[in-house]
Amino acid sequence: MADKFSEADRPSVTWIEDTGITAVVRLDDLSSAQQLADALLLGGVRCVEFTLTNRHAIDVIGNLVASHGDRLLIGAGTVLDPESARAAITAGAQFVVTPTLRLSTIELCRRYGIAIICGAFSPTEILTAWEAGANWVKLFPASVGGPRYLREVLAPLPQVRIVPTGGVSLENAAEFLAAGAVALAVGSNLVKPELVNSGQWEAITQNARSFISIVVSNRRP
């Protein structure tokens, strides 16, 4: 799927669905962010979310936008409030992700024309986020109900574009796609801290290729 894009293409939030995989980077040490970005790109993953649980994440986002912004869609994750969203957007973040339903953050992102993937779990939260203007709804934690829960939620809410997050793995990715996910967000099952810490970039590239391959083989028409 990575071959669909040329080097001349500019990053777009449509890549979230077009490529189907967003890497969620939740690490204590982001000093190797450049190498990690290169490894993910080689594997076909063009969307990366850096969580604000690391206090250096906003600086890293700014640096990567400068160095990889022509090839990589870079977002801010674990955004808990509008102030954090604004700081990330100012640094160059091209999308914002919340772990929970945050209507004020949706409002801010809409004001600035920035895409938001808003976290939710219950059907009420999911529909509320969607009606408030979220571009996508992040089903989190997806591991709790699994693909069956996603399928049952989408039965009465087929219009909602859902991205499962939390517990998505190589073993269940195809099931989530079959259940109706429009894309997947993958954390430690893709960006394994032990691989990053030991600089095993080829292994991360291979993980990325494996996830992309599942998307290509199992995406709904």
Active-site positions?
A: 49, 138
Are 105 and 96 in contact by the 8 Å Cβ rule? The answer is yes
Query: How far is 144 from 120, CA to CA, in rounded Å?
Result: 12
Report residue 10 CA to chain centroid gap.
Answer: 18
141 preceded by a cis bond (ω within 30 of 0): yes
Query: How far is 132 from 143, CA to CA, in rounded Å?
Result: 25
Written as six digits, the tokens of 64 are 């990567």
Question: Which residues partner with 119 through β-bridges?
Answer: 138
